[in-house]
Amino acid sequence: MSDFKSDLVENARAVDEVLDQLLSVDDSPEAGLVEAMRYSALGGGKRVRPFLVVSSARLFNVAESCALRVAAAVEMVHCYSLIHDDLPAMDNDDLRRGQPTCHIKFDEATAILAGDALLTRAFEVLVGEATHSDPKVRCDLVSEMAKSIGVGGMVGGQVLDLMAENKELTIPEITRLQRLKTGMLIGYSCECGAILGKAPLAARQALHAYAHDVGLAFQIVDDLLDVEGDAETVGKSTQKDGAAGKATFVSLLGVERARAQADMLADQASAHLELFKEKADPLRELARFVVNRRA
């Protein structure tokens, strides 16, 4: 395993440990819901967003325990969005990370509530004193998170995605859809390191630019995997976009140009990090990993 790959695995392990603590089960009858939350939040995954949080926080020498709490909160939000997206009324997916989705494993009511509870718990973790000693920083973490995942962010992107079925979207429209649906939370994952580290504006803007490019590259590769991958390797249903009549980067650009575009974005993303010198190498390797992944 390359150094980067083992860093990614080690970071996933560290985040899982924190998630395990933050989603602890007691003996109350309602704690059955926590099983569903844990099933979805601790069900594997590459943990790209937590890696972005921890790596960006290291640029500013943020205490690892603080960064890991924010990383866990970001992963909770990501998992809540997957649970709700997979519901029958939404994308109706049975498979996620190679396992039955939450509403298949449990039931629909439990899946809805597990998503709601993960979102709520994420905000509770962000605002907890252990996340940062300065309440102003904790307020910023909550405020920027809410902006990234509300109507002007992730949920808005999901609305656009539902509207996109059997509709001809242009490249600018798909780019905007994906920026809202996945790009804003990826952007938050990078910027929260700067928030935790009270970094100057230039550093924050550099991370924002990096996240923008990485997020788009990530999505283009998702579209490529939907066309080229098989469900077993990818861990979720493939060939779904074509079946749903959804325009994607690949359907509009073709496989070859889409692949070239993703490569270009990864290079461009890395270039934004110049001011951090070699300290940002993990983020550069992550950008490369994102476009080369097979799942």
Nearer to its own copies, 176 or 288 (CB): 176
Instruction: Figure out which of the listed residues 150, 200, 245, 254 binds its own copies, where binding follows CB under 8 A.
Output: 150
**253 part of the interface to its own copies, by CB under 8 A:** no
State in angstroms the smallest separation of the CB of 112 from its own copies: 6
* Residue 65 Cα to chain centre, angstroms: 20
Nearer to its own copies, 192 or 224 (CB): 192
Instruction: Figure out which of the listed residues 9, 63, 90, 295 binds its own copies, where binding follows CB under 8 A.
Output: 90
Cβ(23)–Cβ(41) under 8 Å?
A: yes
Residue 237's nearest CA partner among 116, 101, 70 is 101
Instruction: Figure out which of the listed residues 29, 166, 230, 277 binds its own copies, where binding follows CB under 8 A.
Output: 29
Q: Convert residues 92-131 into a mask of x (bound to its own copies by CB under 8 A) and - (unbound).
A: ---------------xxxx-xx-xxx-xxx-xx--xx---
Instruction: Figure out which of the listed residues 18, 149, 217, 286 binds its own copies, where binding follows CB under 8 A.
Output: 149
**89 part of the interface to its own copies, by CB under 8 A:** yes
Instruction: Figure out which of the listed residues 82, 180, 224, 225 binds its own copies, where binding follows CB under 8 A.
Output: 180
d(C-alpha 66, C-alpha 285), whole Å = 23
**160 part of the interface to its own copies, by CB under 8 A:** yes
Binding site for its own copies (CB under 8 A): 28-34, 37, 80, 84, 87, 89-90, 107-110, 112-113, 115-117, 119-121, 123-124, 127-128, 135-136, 138-139, 142-143, 146-147, 149-151, 155-160, 162-163, 180
